[in-house]
A = this chain, B = another copy of it.
């Protein structure tokens, strides 16, 4: 099982960094606010794991908010080089390893966060079992992934009329929970489509309790700046879930 490492593809990495640097990507204005809204009210003293930590911005945010220790895991050498340069801190440990391969001892973390990584994970159930074991009782998993409505159809994209207007978002093959290949800066980016019910039931079967499910929409203030984000109201873009280990 080769883990995907598109972030070390130079062409992909360049496109991705340029997108994130605008501060106006879907991540910045939709997904990150939703993740933040599901975090515990205080991070003071917490042990936190960030699965797919990228350039370490979230890890640094956590220590700034009083976290005791943050482990950041990412397979991409490019991303971890950035993390070490921009967001190093004595209480943060960055590990270059695939999310699927990392191991921790039981009851190690109060909080596990994973931002837009789970749709790249082939074996969702196995990862949940591991995360559940790494969490302390009462700890939480907060994660986001692309919304199943967004990943269902094998050709991804809006249906357009002849004048570049987006008519509607097409759904097909919703029940076909297999790999999808997309173009995102480069060809052949692999994602795993799962139904909403699968995302939730696998959590329940692992022993998690569902605490919140978000399908984030732009705020009015964001819409004023970026009217194109009305798309995220027309069809759900991300799903963000908080689940607790009882």
Contacts and interface: CB of A to CB of B under 8 A. Distances in A.
Interface of A: 149, 152-153, 159, 167-176, 195-197, 200-201, 204, 209-215, 217, 232-236, 239
A215 B196 CA distance: 8
A209 B204 CA distance: 10
Contacts of A217: 175
Contacts of A236: 174-175, 195-196
A196 B213 contact: yes
A169 B172 contact: yes
Given A168-B153, A215-B195, A215-B197, A176 B209 contact: no
6 contacts: A149-B149, A149-B174, A159-B159, A169-B170, A175-B236, A209-B210
B197 A213 contact: yes
The 7 closest A-B pairs by CB, nearest first: A168-B170, A175-B233, A210-B210, A168-B172, A169-B171, A197-B215, A197-B213
